[in-house]
């Protein structure tokens, strides 16, 4: 098979960012999700929430301006930003579980065809970091996964059943990878967009779960 | 009552072996009581059960750390073999090639671990400080976290029963306190400090500055002095 080009992380983040609506409160996970804030379409105002205890953060701090008391949950230093607020962890997670966060963009190890999410533990390591992922997965109104389509060894990450320990069952609504966009519907996954040069068959070949192809299948909508 | 302790060592001198301690730090040096942790290391109490968001991360991967700094975290207590168990949400290094002291000790069977989702950890601590013995949460339903726990349905959705956490001591880090223990945190360093302060029998805080009572606007107090037992000023 001819080597097809995969999209880089910034393009995946750009595609996810198109999903964010004006006024959304958004929590971005570590990795590709973090990049989404650079690509929110003009004219949309998004408020960022982080489990470190901050709402309404903006750009990262400039080198030399770092403050250990001003970080996001990924440990990045934030710049002071007008309108931001701080709170303790009880309140930060009340916002999440209480349904006050509209969208969480998370990375994943595996996502199943029912939208089960596994993103906190590799079984062979025997130990894992759950952090705020389980709370976000059950609490945010909409979960978008942003990830590579296959793992480092080339195995599919979009699977029929997750073999890794779950973060939460049936929580993901949209999966954006470096070759495809898939919606989680009641009866399985619908392939709606593919990366340039990739056919539905190409994507299916790297996907363990069965994909229904949308009648409106097209290129990545950026 | 004077809550000001003269030194970090004196502030932790009565921590006995086998104590349960809540120690703040989201994951970086901000909010971490580095001086009290060093004092507890020097004090040497053993068989400790520590409740904290991580098991010591900043010293290993530089999370939230100014480039070039070498912060102290609870990893030094693990290295010093003072810890029997850690209750945390983010106990291991996200970088497998740079494992934490805790991770090595855990894999050698020297220390126990209870992994708790971060929001559940916060709420269990809150419950402990608020006289609530247990609560139902949607977090962890259908996962390993549900093993052995009661599941109950409310309005068609399943929830797990989680129990309160309490501690003998809390070691915390704040920005300012007055002599009555009314406390303010800086920025994102409020996170677990703001709740651990409510749930330990003896709450010990290190602060940048101790001021006279009356100098902090009552409406801007984050942790009221009722919760705080000892304050030490960072020189």
Query: pLDDT digit string (tens) for A115-143?
Result: 999 999 988 888 899 999 999 999 999 99
- Residue A21 tokens read as 């609506």
Q: Is B159's Cβ below 8 Å from some Cβ in A?
A: no
Flag if B122 and A92 touch (Cβ within 8 Å). Answer: yes
The pairing of strands A142-146 and A103-106 is parallel
Backbone angles phi, psi at A17, to 5 degrees: -60, -30
Contact between chains at B188 and A71 (C-beta distance less than 8 A): yes
Q: What is the pLDDT of residue A124?
A: 84
Per-residue pLDDT at B235: 85
d(CA B223, CA B228): 8
Q: Could you confirm whether A51 is annotated as catalytic?
A: yes
CB contact under 8 A, B138 and A97: yes
Pick out chain B residues at pLDDT < 70.
none
Cβ-based neighbours of B211, under 8 Å, separated by 6 or more? B176, B177, B178, B179
Q: Is the pLDDT of residue A1 over 70?
A: no
Predicted local confidence at residue A2, as pLDDT: 56
Residues of chain B positioned with their CB less than 8 A from the CB of A107: none
Q: Residue B223's beta-bridge partner residues?
A: B183
pLDDT (0 to 100) of residue A3 = 72
* A167-171 mean pLDDT: 98
Task: Find how far residue A171's CA is from the centre of its chain.
Answer: 12
Residue A184, C-beta contacts closer than 8 angstroms, at least 6 positions apart: A113, A114, A115, A172, A173, A174, A175
Residue B204 tokens, joined: 């010990």
Q: Tokens standing for B176?
A: 């300012």
Token pair belonging to A42:
């003009």
Does A127 lie at the interface with B, CB-CB under 8 angstroms? yes
> Between A and B, how many residue pairs show a Cβ–Cβ distance under 8 A?
155
A127/B103 touch (CB, cutoff 8 Å), yes or no:
yes
Average pLDDT, chain A: 96
pLDDT (0 to 100) of residue A14: 97
Q: How far is CA A123 from its chain centroid?
A: 21
**Chain B nearest C-alpha distance from A159 (Å):** 17
Among B106, B193, B194, beta carbon nearest to A127: B106
Contact A69 B142 (CB under 8 A): no
* Paired tokens of B182: 């009314």
Backbone angles phi, psi at B227, to 5 degrees: -85, -15
Q: Does A1 touch chain B (CB under 8 A)?
A: no
pLDDT at A123: 86
What is the least distance, in Å, from the CA of A200 to any CA of chain B?
Answer: 32
Average pLDDT over residues A61-67: 96
Q: Is A126 on the interface with B (CB under 8 A)?
A: yes
The residue of chain B with its CA nearest to that of A125 is B96
Handedness of CA B156, B158, B163, B165 (dihedral sign): negative
Residue A32 CA to residue A146 CA, distance in Å, equals 6
> Is the predicted pLDDT of residue A32 greater than 70, yes or no?
yes
- Dihedral sign, CA of B97, A159, B115, A56? positive
Can you say whether the dihedral through the CA atoms of B26, B64, A57, B96 is positive or negative? negative
3-state secondary structure of B49: strand
Q: For an interface test with B, which of A138, A162, A164 has the most B Cβ atoms less than 10 Å from its Cβ?
A: A138
Specify the pLDDT at position A204.
98
Q: Which residues are paired to A142 by β-bridges?
A: A103
Cβ–Cβ below 8 Å for A134 and B145: yes
A 53-92: CB under 8 A from B: 53-54, 66-73, 75, 77-78, 86-90, 92
Pick the CATH number of B8-233 from 3.30.365.10, 3.10.20.30, 3.40.50.720, 3.40.1080.10: 3.40.1080.10
CA distances A86 to A40, A106, B192, B215, B222, Å, are 23, 22, 12, 21, 11
Q: Distance from B132 to chain A by nearest Cα, in Å?
A: 14
Round to whole Å and give the CA distance between A105 and A133: 10
Pick from B69, B86, B119, B199 the residue to mutate for testing the A interface (most A CBs within 10 Å). Answer: B119
Q: What is the pLDDT of residue B162?
A: 98
Half-sphere exposure of A155 (CA within 13 A, CB side): 9
Q: For residue A125, what pLDDT is reported?
A: 83
Say which CATH topology domain A9-43+87-217 has.
Glutaconate Coenzyme A-transferase (3.40.1080)
| Residue A59 clears pLDDT 60, i.e. is over it | yes
Q: Helices A89-97 and B118-130, interaxial angle, to 10°? A: 120
Q: Which of A5, A10, A42, A51 is catalytic?
A: A51
Report yes or no: B173 at the A interface, CB cutoff 8 Å. no
Whether residues B195 and A67 touch (CB distance < 8 A) is answered with: no
What distance in Å separates the CA atoms of residue A206 and residue B142, rounded to the nearest whole number? 27
Sheet holding A117-118, edge to edge: A117-118, A110-112, A158-159
The dihedral of CA B42, B47, B51, B52: what is its sign? positive
Q: Mark which residues 37-56 of B lie under 8 Å from A by CB.
A: 53
């Amino acid at each position: 098979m001819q080597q097809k080009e995969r999209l880089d992380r910034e393009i995946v983040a750009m595609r996810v960012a198109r999903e964010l609506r004006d006024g959304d409160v958004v929590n971005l996970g570590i990795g590709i999700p973090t990049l989404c804030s650079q690509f929110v379409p003009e004219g949309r105002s998004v408020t960022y929430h982080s489990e470190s205890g901050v709402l309404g953060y903006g750009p990262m701090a400039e080198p030399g301006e770092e403050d250990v008391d001003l970080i996001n949950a990924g440990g990045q230093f934030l710049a002071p930003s007008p309108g931001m607020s701080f709170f303790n962890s009880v309140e930060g997670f009340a916002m999440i579980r209480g349904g006050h966060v509209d969208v969480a963009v998370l990375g994943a190890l595996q996502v199943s065809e029912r939208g089960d999410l596994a993103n906190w533990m590799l079984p062979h390591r025997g130990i894992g970091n759950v952090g705020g992922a389980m709370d976000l997965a059950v609490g945010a109104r909409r979960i978008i996964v942003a990830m590579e389509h296959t793992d480092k060894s080339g195995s599919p990450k979009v699977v029929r059943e997750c073999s890794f320990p779950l973060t939460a069952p049936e929580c993901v609504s949209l999966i954006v990878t470096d070759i495809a966009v898939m919606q989680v519907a009641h009866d399985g996954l619908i392939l709606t967009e593919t990366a340039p040069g990739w056919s539905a068959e190409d994507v299916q070949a790297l996907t363990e779960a069965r994909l229904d192809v949308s009648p409106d299948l097209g290129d990545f909508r950026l | 009552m004077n809550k000001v302790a003269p030194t970090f060592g004196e502030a932790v001198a009565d921590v006995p072996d086998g104590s349960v301690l809540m120690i703040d730090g989201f994951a970086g040096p901000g909010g971490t009581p580095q001086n009290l942790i060093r004092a507890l290391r020097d004090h040497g109490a053993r068989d400790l059960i520590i409740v904290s968001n991580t098991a010591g991360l900043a010293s290993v991967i530089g999370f939230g750390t100014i480039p070039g700094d070498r912060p102290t975290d609870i990893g030094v207590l693990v290295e010093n073999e003072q810890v029997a168990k850690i209750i945390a949400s983010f106990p291991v290094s996200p970088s497998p090639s740079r494992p934490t002291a805790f991770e090595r000790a855990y894999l050698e069977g020297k220390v126990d671990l209870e992994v708790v989702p971060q929001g559940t950890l916060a709420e269990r601590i809150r419950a402990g400080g608020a006289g609530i013995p247990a609560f139902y949460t949607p977090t962890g339903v259908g996962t390993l976290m549900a093993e052995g726990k009661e599941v109950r349905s409310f309005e068609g959705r399943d929830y797990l029963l989680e129990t309160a956490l309490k501690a003998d001591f809390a070691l915390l880090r704040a920005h300012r306190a007055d002599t009555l223990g009314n406390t303010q945190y800086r920025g994102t360093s409020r996170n677990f400090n703001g709740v651990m302060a409510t749930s330990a029998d003896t709450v010990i805080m290190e602060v940048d500055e101790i001021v006279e009572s009356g100098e902090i606007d009552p409406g801007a107090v984050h942790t009221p002095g009722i919760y705080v037992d000892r304050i030490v000023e960072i020189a």
